[in-house]
Amino acid sequence: MDKPLKTPSPYPIASVDRALRAAHTLQMEGGATVSQIAERFGVARSTAHRILAMLVYRDFAVQDEERVYRAGPVLELATHSQSVVSRLRAAALPHLHRIVDLLDETANLIV
């Protein structure tokens, strides 16, 4: 059975959407800097910093010694979940990282 496409919320809140997308980026891509988040979302560095600071405050992110933000304890729990999606992600990510390293291009898995 095919999963229906998601319908955008009729009441979008841009700041919440950016924070969730930033958390997703940290979880799926391993980390990002303030500058990278600002550029990706088309916001000022100060806005990106506030988003990341709130993610740190709520344990969705941590900042390492190189000032890179990474998935925090809350997102790490989800990474170790035994859901089908988590198991697929765990199996696919090493291969996707290898493809990225070999080709110097982005790689995606779509099911």
Do residues 96 and 110 both lie within one domain? yes
Q: How many domains does the chain have?
A: 2
34: in domain: yes
Instruction: Please report where in the chains the tokens 């765990």 appear, as a residue.
Output: 90
Tens-digit pLDDT profile for residues 5-23: 778 788 888 889 999 999 9
Is the CB of residue 33 less than 8 Å from the CB of residue 69?
Answer: yes
Do residues 92 and 45 both lie within one domain? no
Do residues 25 and 76 both lie within one domain? yes
4: in domain: no
Tens-digit pLDDT profile for residues 57-101: 999 999 999 999 999 998 877 665 566 776 787 788 889 989 989
**Whether the predicted model's global pTM rises above the 0.75 cut:** no
Do residues 72 and 102 both lie within one domain? no
Do residues 23 and 52 both lie within one domain? yes
Q: Which of 41, 73, 47 lies closest to 58, judged by CA?
A: 73
Check which CATH number belongs to the domain holding 44 and give it: 1.10.10.10
Do residues 45 and 92 both lie within one domain? no
Q: Which of 67, 42, 77 lies closest to 52, judged by CA?
A: 67
**Enclosing domain of residue 97:** 81-111
